[in-house]
Amino acid sequence: MNRKPLLVIAAGGTGGHMFPAQALAEEMLARGWRVKLSTDVRGNRYSGNFPQEVEREVVSSATPSRGGIPAKLLLPFRIAAGVFSAWRSMRRDRPSVVVGFGGYPSIPAMTAAYLLRLPRMVHEQNGVLGRVNQPFATRVDAVACSVWPTELPAGANAVHTGNPVRGAVLAKAGAPYQAPGTRPMHLLVMGGSQGASILSRVVPEAIAMLPEGMLQYLSISHQARLADLDLVVKSYEAIGVAADVQTFFDDVPERMEAAQLVISRAGASSIADITVIGRPSILVPLAIAVRDEQSANARPLEESGAAFVLQENVFTPETLSGHIAAILSDEDGARAMAQAALALGKPQATKELAILVEMLAGKGN
């Protein structure tokens, strides 16, 4: 029988859940643990970058927002089947710790861990608890928080670990910041997978309003949705600014290292990258987010002076252009914003999560 301790990671099928889950899996394998990923069929499609040593366990789950009335009526039964499957698996191969990263596919494993009274915790990537983590927050040994403070129910045991980032981001942690000046200046624009069209409409117009003396030194990396790609390219061409416009950048850490300013949505992963590398930013929270979690994510950066936060209702070309000009014309101010961002970073987030896992394992022995 394998005597290595077993960690079960329960996660949903989005990058926001799976990236930190993958980081913890890699760290625990390096520490001599066995790791099992518990997810559903959809989530399993996003597990390709997990190490081969990670065992995949696909359980039945469901998302209320998907499917019609028949699917919604079947939802409790699908989740119950997933819980029973996870419970039976944990009875057969008892985990030392179970960690949930959110998303509906994490419900079965987290419920089974609760029923079996196993050491368990959840990791919340945003400043507001997700729908799944919310009911578990007071039923786990710890809630590992990326954003501090995170809104939690009374009785929850909160620990500020930060949000694990990819190795490529860690390699650029605290990279020296080149303050804006007469040298070429670089802007990185990241829209994320939802609602990026507003950035594609507003940012080029805002750039066009900048002083000519600033435009001549400016280059831009702009991540845009496929539907907006041609429009964004033509907009930058019309104002004569060098711009690399793509639907996806596989070298974001390098582009962020070179940037004097980042304009971005306030998703958990983006915030983690910005603070670990340490760059001034203008953040535009996603207005349609039901829990307004992106505003919560951005708040610590705004309060510390690391970022300007523009809600969508005031995100106009005129307002944005004024903020860009103010940052790029103030070397000392931009440098202070970069330092403030860096002070909020948690590059050791993965290791802190791993230490917490081992502490919980010790309590369970």
What whole-number distance in Å separates Cα of residue 89 and Cα of residue 352? 28
The mean pLDDT of 165-170, rounded to a whole number, is 90
Percent of the chain with pLDDT over 90: 79
Q: Exposed (0-12), middle (13-18) or buried (19+): which is 232, by Cβ within 10 Å? A: buried
Contact residues for 119 (Cβ-Cβ < 8 A; gap 6+) = 96, 97, 98, 141, 360, 361, 363, 364
pLDDT, average across residues 177-197: 84
Higher pLDDT, 80 or 349: 349
Instruction: Name the β-bridge partners of 158.
Output: 143
Average pLDDT over residues 2-24: 89
Residue 41's pLDDT is 78
pLDDT in tens, 66-122: 555 665 555 676 788 889 999 999 999 999 999 999 998 999 999 999 999 999 999
pTM above 0.75, yes or no: yes
pLDDT for the residue numbered 61: 65
> CA 260 to CA 180: how far, in whole Å?
6
Q: pLDDT tens digits, residue range 19-36?
A: 899 999 999 999 999 999
**Mean pLDDT for all residues in the chain:** 92
State how beta strands 6-10 and 97-100 pair.
Answer: parallel
What's the confidence (pLDDT) of residue 195? Answer: 47
Residue 2 scores a pLDDT above 70: no
Q: At what angle do helices 349-364 and 15-30 cross, to 10 degrees?
A: 70
Q: Which residue has the higher pLDDT, 144 or 58?
A: 144
Q: Each residue of 40-69: pLDDT tens digit?
A: 877 777 788 899 999 999 887 655 555 556
Taking only the tens place, the pLDDT of each residue in 234-270 is: 999 999 999 999 998 989 999 999 999 999 999 999 9
SS3 101: coil
